Structures are given as C-alpha cells and as structure tokens.
Amino acid sequence: MLLFLSLAGIILSVILLVFNAGRYKSSRYLGGFFFLISVYALNFHVFIDSYPVPILTLFFVHPDFLFYLTGPLLFWYIRSVLTDKSRLRRSDLWHLLPAFIYLISVIPYLFLSWDEKTANAALLASDIGNLKYIRASLLYSVIHPGLVFISRPLLVTGYAIGSTVIFIRWLKNRKNRTVLSQQHYMIPWLTVLLGFFFILTISHLIAMTEAYLSHNLKLFFTLRLLHLFSGVGLTGLLISPLFFPSILYGMPRIPAASPADTPTGPGPAEGSDPRFPVQEELPKPGFEADYMKQIGSKMDECMQQLQPYLQNDCNLAYMAKLTGIPAHHLAYYFREERRQPFNEYRNLWRVQHAKKLIREGKTKELTLEAIGLLSGFSTRNTFYSAFRKIEGSTPSAFVDKECENKK
C-alpha cells in the first residue's frame, strides 16, 4: 500500500510540474512538495520492508537532504496562493539553510566507494539498530544521530504550523482581501491539505521521538498505531487533489499597476493589441466581481472589433495574447463567472457571423460549407453541429426561413 501511494504521489507531482508549472507558478511548489513527500514515503517503505542491499544503498543518505525542503515548499505554496505572488524573495534563501547544512555534512559519505556504502547498507539490512554505528554525517560528532533524524519531521512540523498561522491570519482578514474572494473551494482545499499534512507529520514526529528517547531505533518501525495515522495522513494528502481539480488554476485578482501599465510606461505588452490596454484601465483597488465584469467587457469588445473568432487557432492562449489578460484569469472567468466553456462562447460569435453572411445573400455565391469556413469553423460538421446547438435548426433551414421572410 505504501509503495502504491508513493508511486501515485510521484505521478501526481510530475503531472503538476509538467502540465501546470509553466502556467501556474504555485504549482511548482505544490508539485515539488508532493514529489518529496512521495519519495520520503518510498524511502521509508524501502527500509521497513527490508529491500535488497543494492536498493538500500541507493536510498540510504543520498536523498536525505532533499527532505529538508518539504516544509519550505509547502510554506511557499500556501503563501503564493494567499498572496497571488509566487516569486521567491532573497530572504527565502534562509529556508534552504538546513538542507544545505545537512548536504555539506554528508559529502564525505557521498564520496565513499560503492563497496563501502553497500557494506553499510548490509549492516542496516541485518539490524536497523546498527544505524548508530554508521557515521554517515559529520553532524554525528556533535549531535546524536537520532536527533539528526528527528530534525527532519520537527522542521517540517514547524513549517506546517507556520503555514497554518498565515492561513488563519488570512481567514481573519479575508473580508479585506481580494485574492480568493470568489474562489470558495480554495479554503476547504487548503484546510484539507494542512489537516492531512498535520496528521502525517505529527504522528511521524511522535514515532521518531519515542524511538529516540528509548534509545531503540527498532521501536520506530514497530509503532503500528502511529504508522496507521501516518498512512491516513499520507493517503488523504495524496488523493485530496482528485477532489479539488480547480487547484490547478491560478488565483485571479486585479493586477497591481506597474510602470509598464501606465501611460508614461513603455507601452502595452508585446503581442497584445494596443486597443485593449487591459492593465491601464484596471484600478489598483477593487474586488474580483469588478475585475470579472471588466474581463467580460474586454472579451466582447475584442470579439466585436477584431473578430478573432474567424481564426482557426482562436483559443484562450490566443485571446490572452491579444487582450493582455492572463490566460488563467480568462479560464477562471469562463469557468466560474460565465459558467460556459470558451469554445461555446467563441462558436456563438461564429454562428452570428455566419447568420450575417446568410442575411447578406452570400448563399447565392458561396456554399454553406464555405460560409462556415469563412466564419471560423474548420469543418462542415463542426459548423452544422454548432449552428444546430445554438439556433435549434440547421443552416439550410435558416436559409429557407430567411428566403421566406424576404418574400
């Protein structure tokens, strides 16, 4: 079960990083967080199930420094979601310090020969209690090995508490916030994320502490009840995104004005249409409701004046480039505010254009298929299907009806 969860978590993290990190920056932190949690669980599975020595050799010490990054990734994710600012600050480099210190301390072990590492792994395979005899880190000279191992879950628990504190502070002041004001699903998502993570980290920390205080590392692997709670926390953590698919979207808010957005700046963004300077017309303060209305107005205005729906490649990315509105803001607008897929919105404009051509008598010169192509549809079937869905009749029936009206 633990192996399955670990692999599922790794797949989930890869999906987040490959398909969403480029569009939604916060997904980088969330994907990295899930990846490290999954690798840590896989590492634990390898030791608890006594895998062959070569595999133990790979998992002993080598990935350990990465686990110190689990807490910072969670903290950065929560912060980026609540502030809609995913860029790291210079001060965030301090969060990397524990991982850096541990990495420096194990460099001598990392450069040992494979045979020496295999011998150490064989000792662990025979008795996990032999861990105290393996000098894997220079820190063991000044700190008890058990305390070094406790430092990982202890640090992660600290970050979980810190992330919860900033979340609670945000909840107390959310009436004065614009971020997430209409994304109510994000509050339960963050609550579930932090809740299951607390169950996982607290139970794991207690098990590690019990083993350390009793001076018996074997005890850590025999505390079945605590491992059960850890399993519940890990399971809930890894399957929770399946119940909150919208976490993959960015957090739309009114963008803050920048020098480039003002009349004295260098002008509109490259690739955007100068007739739609979205950022210049948006005020600094405001609420998502106002922003959503402005997006709707900009979209209708752009469709009417530039007729981008006539292009075969008219999609959200194309409209984002044309209007200067971030693509994930447009996705949110159509999903949450308009509650209509963008394709349906675009097809509505295409059908209206086709009706205009029909009323102008273009059917005397062109076939209906040609009119569909001129209206932006790529094939006859998509034209007829969209026309029937929107008008309740076929293009041919509409032509006949127009002919009767003219008589």
Map out the domains of the chain as residue ranges.
2-248, 282-406
pLDDT in tens, 298-352: 999 999 999 999 988 888 888 888 888 877 788 878 887 888 889 999 999 999 9
CB 291 within 8 A of CB 282: yes
Q: What percent of the chain has pLDDT above 90? A: 22
Contact residues for 199 (Cβ-Cβ < 8 A; gap 6+): 229, 230, 232, 233, 236
Residue 176 DSSP code: G
Of 247 and 158, which is predicted with more confidence? 158
CA–CA gap between residue 151 and residue 11 (Å, rounded) = 28
pLDDT of 273 over the 60 cut: no
Compute the average pLDDT of residues 57-83.
89
Task: Look at 250 and 391; give whichever has higher pLDDT.
Answer: 391
| Largest separation between any pair of C-alpha atoms in the chain | 100
pLDDT of residue 281: 40
Own/partner long-range contacts of 142-148 (Cβ < 8 Å, ≥24 apart): 144/212, 146/208, 146/211, 146/212, 146/215, 146/217, 147/212, 148/102
Query: Sorting pLDDT into bands at 50, 70 and 90, what band is 259?
Result: very low
CATH number of 282-406, picked from 2.60.40.10, 3.30.365.10, 1.10.10.60, 3.40.47.10: 1.10.10.60
Give the pLDDT score at 222.
59
Angstrom distance (rounded) from CA 405 to CA 24: 52
123 pLDDT higher than 80: yes
Break the chain down into helix, strand, coil percent, rounded to 5. Answer: 75, 0, 25
For the domain made up of 2-248, give the CATH fold: Rhopdopsin 7-helix transmembrane proteins (1.20.1070)
| pLDDT reading at 182 higher than 70 | no
| pLDDT reading at 160 higher than 60 | yes
Backbone angles phi, psi at 327, to 5 degrees: -60, -35
Q: What pLDDT sits at residue 260?
A: 38
Stated pTM of the model: 0.61
Query: Which pLDDT score is estimated for 218?
Result: 55
pLDDT bin (cut points 50, 70, 90) of residue 46 is confident
Min mean pLDDT across 105-109, 136-140, 185-189, 198-202 is at 185-189
pLDDT class for 210, splitting at 50, 70, 90? confident
pLDDT higher than 50, residue 400: yes
pLDDT of residue 290: 73
- The string over 162-181, giving b where at least 16 C-beta atoms fall within 10 Å of a residue's C-beta and e elsewhere, is ebbeebeebeeeeeeebbbe
The per-residue b/e assignment along 194-232, b for 16 or more CB within 10 angstroms, e otherwise, is bbbbbbbbbbbbbbbbebbeeeebebbeebeebbebbbe
Burial class (CB in 10 A: 0-12, 13-18, 19+), 234: buried
Distance of CA 165 to the CA centre of its chain: 21
Q: What is the mean pLDDT of the chain?
A: 79
Asked which of 88-97, 101-110, 146-155 is least confident by mean pLDDT, the reply is 146-155
Q: How many CA atoms lie within 13 A of 230 on its CB side?
A: 25
**Does 72 have pLDDT greater than 90?**
yes
**Residue 249 confidence (pLDDT):** 46
Q: Which pLDDT band, with edges at 50, 70 and 90, does 264 fall under? A: very low
Does residue 90 have a pLDDT over 50? yes
Contact indicator for 378, 396 with CB cutoff of 8 Å: no
Q: Using an 8 Å Cβ cutoff, are 176 and 111 in contact?
A: no
Residue 184 above 90 pLDDT? no
Give the pLDDT mean for 148-170.
89
Q: Rounded to 5 degrees, what are φ and ψ at 376?
A: 110, -10
pLDDT(265) > 70: no
Over 60: is that where the pLDDT of 374 sits? Answer: yes
